[in-house]
Amino acid sequence: MTLETAGHSKRYIAERASSILVVEEAVRPGLEGRIGKREIASALTQRRSGAGAGARKEFSAAARSWFRFLGLYTEGRSGERPSAALLSAFEAALLSEGRYSPVTVRSSLPPIAAFLDWSDRQGNCLDEITPNHVQDFLAAQTLAGWSRRTVANAGRSLRMFFCFAERRGWSKTGLSRTIQTGPVLRRGTSPSGPPWKEVRRMLKALDPSVPSECRARAILFLASIYGLRRCELARLKLDDFDWGQGTLTIRRAKRGRVQTFPIQPEVGDAIIRYLREVRPHTNHRHVFLTLHRPHRPAENLGPSMRKVMRATGAFQRDWGLHALRHACATELLRRGTSLQGIALFLGHRDLSSVSIYARSDERALRRVADFDLSGLV
């Protein structure tokens, strides 16, 4: 697809053409004529060392899109790394098995690649890896600045990888079971989320007569009332709303589960107003589109929603979109919903993912009721 057919303005196309001319002059192919991050970074160092952050970002984006269009761009570094074949086999196997969603598989690759590269520099073959090697790697990344959550996610990714490697006979049997994948919360804490009264205050502060706030209102209602993840919001389509039956179908990000919920009146009103008054008339079937041309599915909702949430002045601190999912779970628990009910409501497979919310209100564990968030706003 060209920039013109994608709907970009003539001015944008002219600016990108100018950038491409600079890119063609500066970037030199690597091994086998391929171009990757290393070649682009080298060109930036040699030709644009004095450029600002914005200019460097524009140069990199233009280079990636241009060489990807020509079929010359490789997503990793040019040249074959020792881990490349292993990662390709791992990715293909997990996608074919269908046990994990494509999003989960793709997000697991970077920490696995980092570990394999680190292990290669240590001179260790795959069948020589021990639990100590994995722990040393995670400890090194912690010292390098990885957060507790990132380290925990890396542990889960490595456990997935070594389960696969053990089945292939590439690594020691039982290694995967030794890798810690527990929650990253500090003792005595619970997942971060705003108090429900602040969530209600935020929703009431949004003005539906303002197009950007009307769209944000629909998104934030869904995130608050149903605890939807950012990617679940982005993938919602018009066909997911059955207005005749009054139901909403959600395709969960993890494991591809499909759930159907009744449309709460407040949510339905916010969605209908957005569809009637704000949503552009296009052939796209996604519910949430960008407000400015060229209209396309709004995939990166996080930054814009954080900005809107901050502007309402309803919160004591700065919160992101995912915090509303935590607020939803905590409020369900406070109102007496069982942990099993919360797990089902949020699309979790088991109770381990939601048991951490019990710390926020232990008295709620003595009450069991069906989940119902109607009338809360």
CATH number, position 312? 1.10.443.10
Q: Is residue 143 part of a domain?
A: yes
250 pairs with which residues across the strands? 259
Whether 118 shows a pLDDT value over 80: the answer reads yes
- What share of the chain in percent tops pLDDT 90? 30
Per-residue model confidence as pLDDT tens digits over 234-285: 999 999 999 999 999 998 876 667 899 999 999 999 999 999 999 999 999 9
In this prediction, residue 95 carries a pLDDT of 86
- E-strand ranges in the chain read 241-242, 247-251, 258-262
Residues 219 and 290 in one domain: yes
The tokens of 111 are what?
């920490």
Whether 97 shows a pLDDT value over 50: the answer reads yes
Whether 82 shows a pLDDT value over 60: the answer reads no
In the annotation, is 348 catalytic?
Answer: yes
Q: Is residue 74 part of a domain?
A: no
Average of per-residue pLDDT across 67-74 = 73
Instruction: Assign 99 a pLDDT band (cuts: 50, 70, 90).
Output: confident
**CATH, residue 107:** 1.10.150.130
Tell me the residue range of the domain where 53 lies. 10-69
In this prediction, residue 47 carries a pLDDT of 61
Of the two residues 353 and 133, the one the predictor is more confident about is: 133
In the annotation, is 77 catalytic?
Answer: no
Residues 315 and 208 in one domain: yes
Q: Is residue 329 part of a domain?
A: no
Cα–Cα nearest to 67, from 40, 32, 38, 31: 40
Report the alpha-carbon angle 147-148-152, nearest 5: 115
237 pairs with which residues across the strands? 286
In the annotation, is 325 catalytic?
Answer: yes
Residue in the structure block whose two tokens are 């809107």? 308
Cα–Cα nearest to 319, from 186, 330, 256: 330
Residues 65 and 90 in one domain: no
Contact residues for 93 (Cβ-Cβ < 8 A; gap 6+) = 164
In this prediction, residue 175 carries a pLDDT of 87
In this prediction, residue 370 carries a pLDDT of 38
Residues 28 and 105 in one domain: no
Give the end of a domain, one of 150, 178, 206: 178
Per-residue model confidence as pLDDT tens digits over 210-231: 999 999 999 999 999 999 998 8
Catalytic residue (one of 159, 217, 229, 235): 229
Which amino acid would we find at residue 44?
L
* Phi, psi angles (nearest 5°) of residue 289: -115, 160
Whether 160 shows a pLDDT value over 60: the answer reads yes
In this prediction, residue 377 carries a pLDDT of 41
Residue in the structure block whose two tokens are 């060209």? 2
Instruction: Assign 78 a pLDDT band (cuts: 50, 70, 90).
Output: very low
Of the two residues 173 and 36, the one the predictor is more confident about is: 173
Catalytic residue (one of 215, 235, 326, 348): 348
Average pLDDT, the chain: 80
Residues 119 and 204 in one domain: no
Residues 163 and 213 in one domain: no
Residues 149 and 200 in one domain: no
* Out of 97-106, 127-136, 195-204, least confident range: 97-106
In this prediction, residue 176 carries a pLDDT of 86
In this prediction, residue 256 carries a pLDDT of 65
Residues 318 and 205 in one domain: yes
Query: d(Cα 76, Cα 66) in Å, to the nearest integer?
Result: 16
In this prediction, residue 214 carries a pLDDT of 97
Whether 290 shows a pLDDT value over 80: the answer reads yes
Contact 259, 252 (CB under 8 A): yes
Give the end of a domain, one of 128, 151, 178: 178
* Phi, psi angles (nearest 5°) of residue 241: -100, 115
The tokens of 82 are what?
């020792």
- Other beta carbons within 10 Å of 50: 6
In this prediction, residue 80 carries a pLDDT of 44
Catalytic residue (one of 159, 217, 235, 325): 325
Residues 139 and 257 in one domain: no
User: In a 3-state reduction of DSSP, which class is residue 251?
Assistant: strand
Per-residue model confidence as pLDDT tens digits over 349-367: 655 566 656 554 444 433 3
The tokens of 8 are what?
């970009």
Give the end of a domain, one of 322, 348, 368: 322
Catalytic residue (one of 159, 215, 322, 326): 322
Per-residue model confidence as pLDDT tens digits over 305-330: 999 999 999 999 999 998 999 999 88
Q: What distances in angstroms separate CA 148 from CA 94, 186, 227, 308, 321, one per listed residue?
A: 26, 9, 23, 28, 20
Q: Is residue 338 part of a domain?
A: no
Q: Is residue 368 part of a domain?
A: no
* Out of 3-17, 134-148, 157-171, least confident range: 3-17
In the annotation, is 229 catalytic?
Answer: yes
Residues 34 and 96 in one domain: no
Average of per-residue pLDDT across 44-55 = 65
* Out of 46-50, 68-72, 181-185, 296-300, least confident range: 181-185
Contact 59, 45 (CB under 8 A): no
Q: Is residue 113 part of a domain?
A: yes
User: In a 3-state reduction of DSSP, which class is residue 294?
Assistant: coil
Catalytic residue (one of 254, 296, 306, 334): 254
Per-residue model confidence as pLDDT tens digits over 270-281: 999 999 999 999
What is the distance, to the nearest Å, from the Cα of residue 265 to the centroid of all Cα atoms in its chain?
A: 28
In this prediction, residue 305 carries a pLDDT of 95
- What share of the chain in percent tops pLDDT 70? 78
Query: d(Cα 64, Cα 97) in Å, to the nearest integer?
Result: 31
Query: d(Cα 22, Cα 16) in Å, to the nearest integer?
Result: 10
Per the structure, how many domains does the chain have? 3
Instruction: Assign 74 a pLDDT band (cuts: 50, 70, 90).
Output: low
In this prediction, residue 207 carries a pLDDT of 96
